Amino acid sequence: MLEAGVQRKPALRMAPVFASLAFAPLVFANRPALVAQIAPQDTSDTPVAFNVPESPAFTFLGITPSKVTRASSARDLGAALINSIDSTGKMLNGVALGATLWTLLPGVNVGLESYQHDWKTYALANAQLSLGAVRASGDTADTELALGLRTTLVDRSDPMLDTSFVRSLSAALTGCLHLINQPGVPALGPPTDTTRPAHAEEDPALQCAAKANRALRTDWFKENWNKPSLSWGIGLGWRIPHSQLGTMDAMGVSTWVTGAYPFGRSGQLLGQLQFDHRNRLGTLDPTDVLTYGLRGSRGTKGYNLFFEVVGTERLKTSPVSSSSNVQWSGGLEFQAGQDYWLSTGLGKRYTAAEQPDRVVVIANLRWGIATKARLRMVPKYESEK
């Protein structure tokens, strides 16, 4: 269950706030929990990624596990925790564990009807736990341990909330049943219960279901991709001296809130707040950092535009460092002809977009010329295709 392939990213407290902003993917990320309840790799490279991290524990530690063990029951979780401690009571490094909270609670179900009508059930169904442990940086035998929780409180761009969508999907699944002639279990044999998952790649019924679900979701998202959503996450960390369980020094806490709201039919407003508190560590002073961002975007067949403001406020800071930082970015492009797009803009997010084929100056503005749209914000659901 343990996976040693854990790489540490530069710790957030040490990173320049906007250092990696230019490499942020231009995607909408308003519904991460539903697309991947536990993603094996956290993609929030920037302080303002406009999504709550899939695994706040890993983000708190600044690690990107190459593999995350997913526990689907309390028993799985218990086994994973036991395996993360060696025979001498030392916490092992390289632990990356994720679980859907409700699956760990005995007797708890989150049926579709309550999922659709009760926000508390919805939040519970989407609550994800993450746990990570990594060797502390520097010449030390200490371990850093973090526990994370994230959930989506509201997401109107979740198709499973829509009874019409569910009805269509149910009908489509029923239509795929004719491809199952016999169950995947033998009729002969001892009279005991047998369960066998199907082989996904070769199963025509599963392929039929996958094709139907993808097609229905794609159609549904065309009308609903930018509906309101609100997500929250928290990560808490501890340092374990000499990796020996018993003493744990609190490292701090990080919490995120991300919201999305439609901006007409083809636009979206995204906002995010993150508060990060780190306790004093060795010679490093304690820090309190508030990071915020607001992004608006709109895209049609003929034009795309976006604006964005991101900033940080260092609430506790040393006299030599700046206490706040705000950056603006924006861009506009339109289709001037077939395979001919003109774009202009400013700021790091604009320059992070794919480079144009040519740059010209018209009316004192630098315009990029490209054969395809560069500033189109790709809705995250398109990654499901």
Partner 1 sequence: MPGAAYTPGSKIQIHVISQSPHTFAHKLWFAKAGDTEWRPLDEGNIETPEREYGPYPAGTKIAYALLIGGNPNTDWKMQVMMSQQGALLNCSPPPETGITNSAGVARRDTAVALN
* Mask for 157-196, x = binds partner 1 (CB under 8 A): -xxx-----xx-xxxxxx-xx--x-xxxxxxx--xxxxxx
Whether residue 98 contacts residue 72, with contact meaning beta carbons closer than 8 Å, is answered with no
Distance CA 100, CA 369 (A): 46
- Helix spans in 84-149 (H): 112-117, 119-125
DSSP 160: G
Residue 38, CA distances (Å) to 68, 96, 159, 249, 291 in order: 8, 11, 19, 27, 24
Rounded to a whole number of angstroms, the minimum distance from the CB of residue 131 to partner 1 is 17
The C-alpha R_g of the chain, in whole angstroms, comes to 24
The encoded tokens of residue 177 equal: 């049943």
Residues 71-110 that bind partner 1 (CB under 8 A): 72-73, 100, 102-103, 109-110
Q: Which is nearer to partner 1, 46 or 51 (CB)?
A: 51
Rounded to a whole number of angstroms, the minimum distance from the CB of residue 162 to partner 1 is 11
Size of the site for partner 1 (CB under 8 A): 59
Q: Is 218 in the site for partner 1 (CB under 8 A)?
A: no
The encoded tokens of residue 115 equal: 């999922």
Residues 338-357 that bind partner 1 (CB under 8 A): none
Binds partner 1 by CB under 8 A, chosen from 4, 141, 210, 378: 210
Q: Which is nearer to partner 1, 191 or 264 (CB)?
A: 191
The encoded tokens of residue 21 equal: 């902003």
Q: Which is nearer to partner 1, 64 or 254 (CB)?
A: 64
The encoded tokens of residue 383 equal: 């990654």
Rounded to a whole number of angstroms, the minimum distance from the CB of residue 115 to partner 1 is 4
Phi and psi at residue 213, to the nearest 5°: -65, -45
Work out the angle at residue 89's Cα, subtended by the Cα atoms of residues 87 and 93, and round it to the nearest 5 degrees.
90
Q: Is 364 in the site for partner 1 (CB under 8 A)?
A: no
Distance CA 91, CA 74 (A): 20
Rounded to a whole number of angstroms, the minimum distance from the CB of residue 236 to partner 1 is 23
Q: Is 227 in the site for partner 1 (CB under 8 A)?
A: no
- Counting Cα atoms < 13 Å in the Cβ hemisphere of 282 gives 8
Q: Is 36 in the site for partner 1 (CB under 8 A)?
A: yes
What residue ranges bind partner 1 (CB under 8 A)?
34-38, 70, 72-73, 100, 102-103, 109-112, 115-116, 125, 158-160, 166-167, 169-174, 176-177, 180, 182-188, 191-198, 200, 203, 205-206, 209-214, 217, 384
